[in-house]
Amino acid sequence: MIASWAELVDVPASSPQISHLAAMCLFALLVSVALAGLTKRTALERAKYAASCFLKFLAVGIAIGWLMYPFSH
């Protein structure tokens, strides 16, 4: 019996590396699609809402990143 995912695919023992931006984009994409599915009915409405929500996630994330930039020095 398969006890873990690692037995099925070759998962490295160390932590996978992912940039903050890539993680944010993936997170924003998945949450935007979920929110679009929750609030809109037709495919077109969902696509528009998901795209809008995704771009707003990125814009707010990047803006907050730049706002915090002075405190990192």
Partner 1 sequence: MNNDNPIEGTSPPDAVTQESAGNDGGAIERADRRDVLAPFITVAAWIVPGLGHLLLGRWGRALIFLLTVGGLAITGYLLRGNVFPPHAGEPFGTLGFLADAGSGIFYFLSRFFESAGPNVSRAAGDYGTRFIAAAGIVNLLSAFDAYEIALGRRTM
- Which residues bind to partner 1, rule: CB under 8 A? 3-6, 11, 13, 15-18, 20, 23, 26-27, 30-31, 33-34, 36-38, 40-41, 43, 46
Minimum CB separation of residue 38 from partner 1 in Å reads 6
CB 47 within 8 A of CB 32: no
Which residues are CB-contacts of 36 (< 8 A; sequence separation ≥ 6)?
45, 46, 47, 49, 50, 53
Taking the complex as a whole, the smallest distance from the CB of residue 68 to partner 1 amounts, in Å, to 15
Q: Taking the complex as a whole, how short is the minimal distance between the CB of residue 29 and partner 1, in angstroms?
A: 9
Cα(41)–Cα(54) distance, integer angstroms: 18
